[in-house]
Amino acid sequence: NNKLMNAAQTHATNMAKKDFFGHSNKDGSKFSSRVKRQGYKYKMVAENIAAGQSSATQVAYDWLGSPGHRKNILNCKFKDTGIAVGYQADDKPIMGNSKPFYYYWVQDFAAP
């Protein structure tokens, strides 16, 4: 879904460019707000995020190996999804990590 993809891309890019990792933006706004701003009217919404994986395949394996992320992916009540990656070539280590993430992944799920 293009609206969900835009919401995901906005967040992935923000995490990469502004050196943070989380479901909330640095201003405190949540993923549900990002989805609404794109014009998607939902009854239910969820989000998966990841960082550091350099391929979509690795992100998929990691999300499917995590109970909460897997639950979002397999939830048949969600009808639409949008996925995006943000990249920062000169990324810095954050959250106590010794290495930078470089890649920031977001998948948004929703049902109208």
Q: Cβ contacts of residue 2 below 8 Å, gap of 6+?
A: 82
Indicate if the pLDDT at residue 96 is higher than 90: no
Burial class (CB in 10 A: 0-12, 13-18, 19+), 99: exposed
CA dist list (Å): 69 to 23, 85, 94: 13, 16, 22
How confident is residue 40, by pLDDT bands cut at 50, 70 and 90?
Answer: very high
- What's the predicted TM-score (pTM) here? 0.93
Instruction: Tell me what pLDDT residue 97 has.
Output: 84
Average pLDDT, the chain: 95
For residue 101, the domain's CATH number is: 3.40.33.10
| DSSP secondary structure, 74-87, as one string | H-TT--EEEEEEEE
Number of structural domains found in the chain: 1
**Boundaries of domain holding 81:** 2-111
pLDDT tens per residue across span 42-87: 999 999 999 999 999 999 999 999 999 999 999 999 999 999 999 9
